[in-house]
Amino acid sequence: MKTGYKPKKYLIKTLGCQANVADSNTISGVLEALGFEETLELKESDLFVVNTCSIRQKSEDKVYGLAKLLKQNQLKTGKMPFVVMAGCMVGSVTGERQRYAFNELKKRTPWVNEYINPSQIMTIPETLLRIGLIGEWAVQKFDPSGVIAKQKETNHAFVNISFGCDNFCTFCVVPYARGKEVSRSKDDILKEITHLVGRGFSHVTLCGQNVNSWGLSTSKKFEIRTGSRHKLPFAKLLRKVHEIEGIEKIDFISSNPFDFTKDLIETLKLPKISDYLHIAVQSGNNDVLKNMNRRHTVEDFMSLINSLKIAKPSVEFGTDVIVGFPGETRDQFMDTVKLFEIIIFNVAFISIYSPRKGTPAEKYFKDDVTLKEKKWRHSYLTNVWKSSKLKYE
């Protein structure tokens, strides 16, 4: 019997890292628990969620550019979906570590109806009730503990093991956008993964801004250094995930070089742990690394890479690098080039430095490398990286 009921439809646009992908999967789980159906077409959507990234200016500019897309959609369809902005741009203007005034973001995004930061995902039902997209009954039956993140792939799932970051690299917005680092409990993580296995998933990626420090107290995490013999809770967690029957492959992202201990290196020998490791070096020059407030040296990084190769000969590496950081000379940049000539990176995210409002780098360092020079460095390093990959292949 036809009831005439037509489910509301939602569309999510995700920008940024795997943590945002995992958050979008959770948002999808929340919305589908409330009776929404996903669509891939803006013209069909009743609710449009933009999960934003704030790591570079280019990422934010993509968000501002959505105003034109929404206007074109309105002209074609005669309607405008309810727009929710989520993610790091919202996190940067809310919470204890606010980078700049909320009103500045609102002025630049008048097309947004509601803003939620990464810690407010479970408040979505109340928001949708308030604006009339769902009824009280849907909210009353909603159980946050029963939300199942919707995974986009059939056998590969992203699982957040921690939220936030306390590292405060001078260029980075994450400690502001995502707040203090908070680890999920081991039991919650293992229950989620076991549930995913029951749904047919065999490959998991454990996500966090710095997975190495999962389960550590704030004071303890800053005591740990590359190559030390500290026993990491994260290494123990990896062993527990490895024991889950049905899991065939385990990835994790992101790791920093400054707290990659011998204990964690040994854990990587487990057969289900992926051969790919993503470890952000950011620069090949120690003075630049110091100005970035990175807690490792180039020598630390080289030693770590060598140790990883010995422990797991099949290992492949990915990294992140910033070129044109304030004060970086051509000679200092060439130190990064030398690093790329020595280490083969299968994946390299090479970024041009852009000042992020409210960060220490923006406050205390002069952005004195010209855009022309930054672009030259980006192109030069990219070509070196590609050439080194070809030699390896």
Task: Tell me: pLDDT of 229 over 90.
Answer: no
- Give pLDDT, residue 392: 67
Mark out the alpha helices in 34-123 (DSSP H runs).
57-64, 66-77, 88-91, 102-108
Q: How far apart are CA 155 and CA 152, in angstroms?
A: 9
- Which two three-digit tokens encode residue 146? 């029963």
370 with 329: CB under 8 angstroms? no
Cβ neighbours, 10 Å, residue 231: 12
Q: How far apart are CA 36 and CA 302, in angstroms?
A: 49
Which of 373 and 5 is assigned the larger pLDDT? 373
Q: How confident is the model at residue 296 (pLDDT cuts 50, 70, 90)?
A: very high
- Give pLDDT, residue 1: 41
- pTM higher than 0.85: yes
Domain covering 9-146, topology: Rossmann fold (3.40.50)
Task: Say if 9-146 and 156-392 have the same CATH topology.
Answer: no
DSSP 87: E
Strands 162-163 and 182-183: antiparallel
- Give pLDDT, residue 151: 85
Which of 302 and 389 is assigned the larger pLDDT? 302
Strands 82-87 and 249-253: unpaired
Q: How far apart are CA 82 and CA 357, in angstroms?
A: 28
pLDDT digits (tens, 9 = 90+) for 151-188: 888 899 999 999 999 999 999 999 999 999 999 999 99
112 with 84: CB under 8 angstroms? yes
* Mean confidence (pLDDT) of the chain: 93
Percent of the chain residues topping a pLDDT of 70:
98
Q: How far apart are CA 89 and CA 75, in angstroms?
A: 27
Q: How confident is the model at residue 218 (pLDDT cuts 50, 70, 90)?
A: confident
Which residues contact residue 200 at a Cβ distance below 8 angstroms, ignoring those fewer than 6 apart? 154, 155
Task: Tell me: pLDDT of 4 over 80.
Answer: no
- Give the mean pLDDT of 355-359: 92
For residue 64, the one-letter residue type is Y
* Dihedral, CA of residue 242, residue 243, residue 244 and residue 247, to nearest 10: 40
Domain residue ranges in the chain:
9-146, 156-392
pLDDT digits (tens, 9 = 90+) for 133-149: 999 998 888 988 778 88
Task: Tell me: pLDDT of 3 over 60.
Answer: no
287 with 332: CB under 8 angstroms? yes
99 with 176: CB under 8 angstroms? yes
DSSP 232: P
73 with 107: CB under 8 angstroms? no
Domain covering 156-392, topology: pyruvate-formate lyase- activating enzyme (3.80.30)
Task: Tell me: pLDDT of 221 over 90.
Answer: no
40-44, 89-93, 229-233: least confidently modelled range: 229-233
Indicate the helix (H) or strand (E) that contains 12: strand 9-14
21-25, 38-42, 93-97, 301-305: least confidently modelled range: 93-97
For 268, phi then psi, to 5°, come to -65, -10
* Strand partners for 156: 203
Task: Tell me: pLDDT of 338 over 80.
Answer: yes
- Which two three-digit tokens encode residue 222? 């800053």
- Give pLDDT, residue 25: 93
How large is the greatest C-alpha to C-alpha distance in the chain, in angstroms? Answer: 75
pLDDT digits (tens, 9 = 90+) for 36-89: 999 999 999 999 999 999 888 889 999 999 999 999 999 999 999 999 999 999
Burial class (CB in 10 A: 0-12, 13-18, 19+), 80: middle
